[in-house]
């Protein structure tokens, strides 16, 4: 039976962490849809036309180890504003969302465009300062050399671009449950999300 959890929100708000935890808890498959745009953006940086890059994305493109750098993040957000790129990635995401056995997808337009019929919609946010702090910690922990200011600027630029674009802009679905994780530990945020999903399962 299909059961979809759609998680949207701005960059580095904790969507991925919560998505992975929910998938593990409920035994659902998880898709970080940002990776599709990051892999497309990375291929564009290598010289490919972005629409061609999205149309010919290969599984191994999603495993590149530099997908989280600010340079690739910016490229992802630029290609994500191109309607043909979004169109090329649509069917894969929709099929994933309705697969048997349950699915968790996190991104920007999951509850609004990819799967408006999702059984649970979460809109995860956190303060700008907290998001920058978390992403900076994640990147430096992986050995990337980047300053807190650069990370904060990357998040500001992307949120502005992602919210302002004409196609599938970042915004909460009307029926999304909002979860502000600024003051929450990972355990608290996960517990809260599990409770929301459990309540929806009835
Ligand atoms: O989620 P993440 O920060 O990895 O996403 C990278 C970029 O991909 C975002 O800034 C956004 O521009 C784009 N994106 C999108 N729609 C999604 C997921 C990501 O436009 N569903």
| Mean pLDDT confidence for 179-188 | 95
State the pTM of this model: 0.96
Q: What's the pLDDT score for residue 128?
A: 97
CATH class of 4-183: alpha beta
Domains of the chain, by residue range, sit at 4-183
- The answer to whether residues 71 and 144 touch, using CB atoms and an 8 Å cutoff, is no
How far apart CA 36 and CA 67 sit, in angstroms, is: 10
- Report the pocket of ligand 1 as residue ranges, CB < 6 Å: 11, 33-34, 37-38, 73, 76-77, 80, 107-110, 158, 162
Q: Give the tens place of pLDDT for each residue, 59-106.
A: 999 999 889 888 999 999 999 999 999 999 999 999 999 999 999 999
pLDDT, tens digit, 9 for 90 and up, residues 136-175: 999 999 898 999 999 999 999 999 999 999 999 999 999 9
Q: How many residues does the chain have?
A: 202
3-state SS, residue 4: strand
| Residues in contact with 191: Cβ distance below 8 Å, sequence separation at least 6, in sequence order | none
For residue 69, what pLDDT is reported? 86
Q: Is residue 110 within 8 Å of residue 97, measured between CB atoms?
A: yes
Q: Collapse the DSSP code of 29 into the 3-class scheme (helix H, G, I; strand E, B; otherwise coil) and give the result.
A: strand
Ligand 1 midpoint to CA 9 (Å): 9
65 C-alpha vs ligand 1 centroid, how far in Å?
A: 17
């Amino acid at each position: 039976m299909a059961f979809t959890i759609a998680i949207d929100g701005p960059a580095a708000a904790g969507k991925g962490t919560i998505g992975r935890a929910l998938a593990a808890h409920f035994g659902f498959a998880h898709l970080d849809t940002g990776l599709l745009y990051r892999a497309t953006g990375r291929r564009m940086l290598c010289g490919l036309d972005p629409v061609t890059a999205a149309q010919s994305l290969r599984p191994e493109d999603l495993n590149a180890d530099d997908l989280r750098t600010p340079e690739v993040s910016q490229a992802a957000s630029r290609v994500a504003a191109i309607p043909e790129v979004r169109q090329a990635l649509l069917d894969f995401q929709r099929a994933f969302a309705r697969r048997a056995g349950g699915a968790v997808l996190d991104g920007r337009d999951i509850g609004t465009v990819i799967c408006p019929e999702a059984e649970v919609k979460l809109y995860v946010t956190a303060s700008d300062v907290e998001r920058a702090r978390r992403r900076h910690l994640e990147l430096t922990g992986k050995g990337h050399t980047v300053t807190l200011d650069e990370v904060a600027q990357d998040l500001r630029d992307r949120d502005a671009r992602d919210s302002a674009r004409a196609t599938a802009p970042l915004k909460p679905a009307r029926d999304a449950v909002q979860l502000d994780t600024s003051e929450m530990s990972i355990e608290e945020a996960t517990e809260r999300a599990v409770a929301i999903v459990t309540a929806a399962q009835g």
